[in-house]
């Protein structure tokens, strides 16, 4: 039985405003302003701050009980839903810039979440758990229904949900790590195990591309690609890999981006297979990937914070002020372009500026404290 708590407000702390400037401070500010105008020749164009001097992150929502934040999604009204491992799903609204109020919190029979997904076409929410359950909300998180397919794995392995994606054709796909990939055309009312899909290969992630292809990453069996699910599902092994594929996301060009357990990032799509990047000094797993509307990319590495590559860039730089050596479990971008990082024990961090601000420069200087 799913229980829904009564609505309650989250405590919001507000910092008192600064005091009234003294005459001395006013004179100093005027001198600095005059020097800036002289140096830049009275150029009226706005100055682009040096990204190497920018602190990327501020804590947006502290963790009340120091539990992992494993999923963050935003609905069309820019309300935020947060999956807290072992606790439940919280719903927030932003009451002022940088201030979030908790609207509701839902507990479940199985709250050990591994996936949280928002279907932008229908507005439906889907959540998957470590023990193989799938929950659906059709009313913006007010109520949730268990739509889990029956477990047919016949194995003692934990059969957790390792991927949830939806397609523009109103198709719903879920991956169970030890069983296979299920397909539904009626929002989870009925399920079909996709023919020829990877099964006991240890499915780790799913992505659905803009070219209407489904990608599945596995523990040691490489990447699978599927298409034509309405009527006759078809799968092919597209890439052989010995490393574990840890995460896959679709980009704006119809390709799938996927990361490995040793920190490598690859792309597979219309332009073929491409190696993109890794940090030679860090051989840790790629945990999550977020792509900004302007084309910039953010990714998190296991216990090494967040990296950023601007639109049109060819390499990543650390975006780690306040997050270096943190385990960032998930990344998300809201409707206004701000990037959010869900951490293992410290709640949620938010970028100081929208993602497009960081894409306005090709500077990928390390902004983290890596001491």
CA distance 210 to 120: 14
CB-CB contact of 202 with 178 (8 Å): yes
Nearest CA to 129 among 112, 108, 148?
112
Mean pLDDT highest for which of 13-22, 46-55, 220-229?
Answer: 220-229
pLDDT band with cut points at 50, 70 and 90 for residue 180: confident
- Average pLDDT of the residues in 87-105: 94
Taking the C-alpha atoms of residue 133 and residue 130, their distance in angstroms, rounded to an integer, is 7
Q: What would the mean pLDDT of 95-107 be, rounded to a whole number?
A: 92
3-state secondary structure (DSSP) of residue 230: coil
Contact (CB, 8 A) for 113 and 90: no
Of the given ranges (88-97, 133-142, 234-243, 305-314), which has the lowest mean pLDDT?
A: 234-243
Residue with tokens 């990204």: 51
Total Cβ atoms within 10 A of residue 80: 22
Task: Of 200-204, 219-223, 227-231, give the range with the top mean pLDDT.
Answer: 219-223
pTM for the whole thing? 0.82
pLDDT of residue 364 exceeding 60, the answer is no
3's tokens: 């229980």
CA–CA gap between residue 344 and residue 69 (Å, rounded)? 6
What DSSP string describes 128-145? EETTS-EEEESSTTS--E
For the chain, the average pLDDT equals 80
Residue carrying the six token digits 């020749």: 41
- CB 295 within 8 Å of CB 252: yes
* 282: number of Cβ within 10 Å: 15
- 308 pLDDT above the threshold of 90: yes
Stretch (H or E) spanning 358? helix 355-359
pLDDT in tens, 46-88: 333 334 445 689 999 999 899 999 999 999 999 999 999 999 9
For residue 41 the two structure tokens come to: 């020749």
DSSP 309-351: E-TT-SS-EE--TTTTT--EEEEEE-TTS-EEEEESSS-EEEE
For tokens 């797993």, the residue is 285
- Determine contact, residues 287/278, Cβ cutoff 8 Å: no
Q: Give the Å distances, CA to CA, from 277 to 274, 317, 322, 358.
A: 10, 11, 23, 19
User: Running DSSP on this structure, what letter comes out for residue 65?
Assistant: S
Which pLDDT band holds residue 246 (cuts at 50, 70, 90)?
very high
Spatial contact of 321 and 56, defined as CB atoms under 8 Å apart: yes
Residue with the bigger pLDDT between 240 and 292: it is 292
What HEC string does 2-16 produce? Answer: CEECCCCCCCCCCCC
Q: Give pLDDT tens digits for 122-157.
A: 999 999 999 999 999 999 999 999 999 987 666 666
Mean pLDDT for the stretch of residues 191-210 = 78
User: What is the rounded CA–CA span in Å between residue 103 and residue 94?
Assistant: 10
In angstroms and rounded to an integer, the radius of gyration of the C-alpha atoms of the chain is 22
3-state secondary structure at position 356: helix
* Longest CA pairwise span in the chain (Å): 77
């Amino acid at each position: 039985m799913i229980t829904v708590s009564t609505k309650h407000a989250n405590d919001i702390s507000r910092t008192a405003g600064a005091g009234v400037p003294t005459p001395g401070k006013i004179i100093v500010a005027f001198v600095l302003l005059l020097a800036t105008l002289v140096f830049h020749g009275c150029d009226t164009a706005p100055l682009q701050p040096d990204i190497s001097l920018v602190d990327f992150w501020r804590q947006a929502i502290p963790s009340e009980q120091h539990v992992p934040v494993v999923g963050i999604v935003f609905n069309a009204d820019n309300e935020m839903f947060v999956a807290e491992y072992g606790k439940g799903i919280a719903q927030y609204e932003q009451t002022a810039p940088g201030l979030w109020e908790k609207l509701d919190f839902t507990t479940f029979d199985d709250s050990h979440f591994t996936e949280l997904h928002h279907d932008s076409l229908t507005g439906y929410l889907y959540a998957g758990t470590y023990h193989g359950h799938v929950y659906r909300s059709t009313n913006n998180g007010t109520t949730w229904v268990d739509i889990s397919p029956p477990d047919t794995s016949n194995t003692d392995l934990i059969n957790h949900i390792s991927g949830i994606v939806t397609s523009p054709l109103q198709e719903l796909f879920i991956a169970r790590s030890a069983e296979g990939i299920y397909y539904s055309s009626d929002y989870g009312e009925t399920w079909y195990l996709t023919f020829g899909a990877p099964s006991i290969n240890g499915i780790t992630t799913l992505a659905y591309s803009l070219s209407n292809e489904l990608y599945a990453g596995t523990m040691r069996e490489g990447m699978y690609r599927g298409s034509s699910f309405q009527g006759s599902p078809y799968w092919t092994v597209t890439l052989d890999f010995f490393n574990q594929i840890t995460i896959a996301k679709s980009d704006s060009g119809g390709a799938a981006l996927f990361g490995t357990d040793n920190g490598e990032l690859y792309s597979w799509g219309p332009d073929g297979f491409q190696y993109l990047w890794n940090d030679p000094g860090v051989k840790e797993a790629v945990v999550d990937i977020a792509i900004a509307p302007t084309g910039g990319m953010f990714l998190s590495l296991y216990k090494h914070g967040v990296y950023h590559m601007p639109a049109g860039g060819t390499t990543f730089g650390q975006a780690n002020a306040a997050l270096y050596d943190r385990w960032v479990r998930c990344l998300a971008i809201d409707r206004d372009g701000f990037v959010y990082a869900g951490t293992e024990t410290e709640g949620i961090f938010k970028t100081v500026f929208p993602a497009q601000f960081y894409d306005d420069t090709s500077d990928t200087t390390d902004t983290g404290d890596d001491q």
